[in-house]
């Protein structure tokens, strides 16, 4: 949640200068956060069905370092 708040704060700061209006930047950030939340929901569904940590294309087990860096990863490096 703190990361989401930070993103919105950064968007607000970014919107105070340049050609983009603050409301536009806020909407872009909200859209990005909604996508991130959808990815988290999908990862949790994979946890529930036992497919989390496996490539959705070939079934290869994803590397722990990769999952730590990107917990919502769905595919191995060969299938990105």
- Looking at residue 22, its pLDDT comes to 79
24-36: burial string, b at 16+ Cβ within 10 Å, e else: ebbeebeeebeee
Q: What pairs with residue 61 in β-bridges?
A: 54
The rounded mean pLDDT for the chain is 85
Entry pTM: 0.68
Structural domains of the chain in order of their starting residue, each with its CATH number: 2-79 (1.20.120.910)
Helix (H, G, I), strand (E, B) or coil at 54: strand
Q: What is the pLDDT of residues 11-48, one digit of tens each?
A: 445 444 557 787 888 999 999 999 999 999 999 999 99
- Looking at residue 15, its pLDDT comes to 45
Q: Can you tell me which residue has the tokens 């872009």?
A: 28
């Amino acid at each position: 949640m703190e990361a989401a708040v930070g993103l919105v704060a950064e968007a607000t700061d970014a919107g105070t200068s340049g050609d983009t209006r603050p409301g536009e930047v806020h909407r872009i950030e909200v859209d990005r956060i909604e996508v991130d939340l959808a990815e988290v929901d999908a990862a949790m569904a994979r946890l529930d069905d036992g497919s989390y940590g496996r490539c959705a294309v070939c079934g290869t087990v994803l590397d722990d370092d990769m999952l730590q860096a990107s917990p919502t990863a769905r595919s191995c490096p060969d299938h990105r």
